[in-house]
Structure 1
Amino acid sequence: MKKRLHNPNLAKIHRNYTVEEAAGLYDVFKGTVRAWIKAGLPVLNDKRPMLILGSDLVAFHQARRTKNKQKCKPGEMYCVCCRAPRKPAGNMAEYQIITEKTGNLVAICPECDKIMNRRVNFSKLAHVCGEIDITLPQVLQHIIDNHQSSVNSDLKQE
């Protein structure tokens, strides 16, 4: 079964939670919260009902989120399938515009042949790409900007 990362901001830091309340807060079973306690989530005391400080609950989930986080170096993109940063196949990527300032780098993973994406600010594109050969989108020409008449045109030129 796949591990699910929980939002640490759900717990209030100035509140105490029982195992049942913490399970209801994160929409998990009580056994899951007890497994968190065995994995290192601190409790106030070992007597029943076990109380968990909200600040400890927030810190526990933040630590679990940042534990496996991997930063991509320049020239690397994160492959979700391989779960590791990799250089794209053939050192080639395509830049797809999302807004005027940001876009996605799209490439193929050399290990699993799946699509890799990386969100990039256009002004930082040169730093992020490293040695990757990036293909930028071509600007489409509008019909109005074209000075040649179409072959199928019914317009008479005088």
Structure 2
Amino acid sequence: MKKRLYNPHLAKIHRSYTIEEAASLYGVFKGTVRAWIKAGLPVINDKRPMLILGSDLVAFHQARRKKNKQKCKPDELYCVRCRTPRKPAGKMVDYQIITDKIGNLIAICPDCESIMNKRISLLKLEQLTGKITITLPQALQHLIDNHQHSVNSDLKQE
């Protein structure tokens, strides 16, 4: 079973918590908090009730998050289903514009075939041109530029 990561900002740093209070704060069982203590979460002392400093709770969960973080290479996107950075299938991605400076890369995971996304700036997009094939959105054709008449037009061709 995968370890679940908890929000480190739930605990207040200037407060101390009992095991029961920490369990209800994070929505877990008391045994889970005891497992955290065995895994290295410091307690104030070994006397009952065991008290945990809020700052220690925050530091413990931040350290666990940092340890499990995975950095993507420039030509990789993070697959949420596989939980690992992967290169896109066929080395092909689509670029979806969000603003004039940033956009999303959208690709398919080669292993689980789910959609992968990555936010990227337009400046960094140029660095990927040789590594992966990027499909940029095409502007729609204006009606004025179209040389064919509409099917429902009343214009007489001469």
Q: Name the TM-score class by shorter chain.
A: 0.7 to 0.9
Q: Tell me which residue corresponds to 2:33.
A: 33
| Deviation, structure 1 residue 128 | 5.1
Q: Tell me which residue corresponds to 2:44.
A: 44
Q: Tell me which residue corresponds to 2:149.
A: 149
Kindly provide the CA deviation profile for residues 97-146 of structure 1, in whole angstroms up to 9, marking residues without a partner as x: 23333222111222333322211122321235660110001111243554
Q: Tell me which residue corresponds to 1:102.
A: 102
Q: Is 1:124 aligned to residue 135 of structure 2?
A: no
- Cα 1:128/1:6, change in 2 over 3 Å: farther
- Cα 1:144/1:18, change in 2 over 3 Å: farther
- Cα 1:129/1:78, change in 2 over 3 Å: farther
Q: Which amino acid in the other structure matches residue 54 of structure 2? A: G
Q: Residue 40 of structure 1: SS of its match in structure 2?
A: coil
Moved more, 35-44 or 102-111: 102-111
Q: Which amino acid in the other structure matches residue 132 of structure 2? A: I
Q: Tell me which residue corresponds to 2:24.
A: 24
Q: Tell me which residue corresponds to 2:62.
A: 62
Q: Residue 47 of structure 1: SS of its match in structure 2?
A: coil
Check the 8 A contact 1:74/1:129 in 2, yes or no.
Answer: no
Q: Is 1:88 aligned to residue 88 of structure 2?
A: yes
- Cα 1:124/1:83, change in 2 over 3 Å: same
* Long gaps (5+) in structure 1: none
- Cα 1:142/1:103, change in 2 over 3 Å: same
| Deviation, structure 1 residue 86 | 1.8
Give the alignment's TM-score, normalised by structure 1. Answer: 0.86
After superposition, the CA RMSD in angstroms is 2.2
Aligned residues: 158
Q: Tell me which residue corresponds to 1:115.
A: 115
> What aligned pairs does 1:7-18 form with structure 2 within 5 A after superposition?
7-18=7-18
Q: Is 1:79 aligned to residue 83 of structure 2?
A: no
| Deviation, structure 1 residue 13 | 1.1
- Cα 1:34/1:85, change in 2 over 3 Å: same
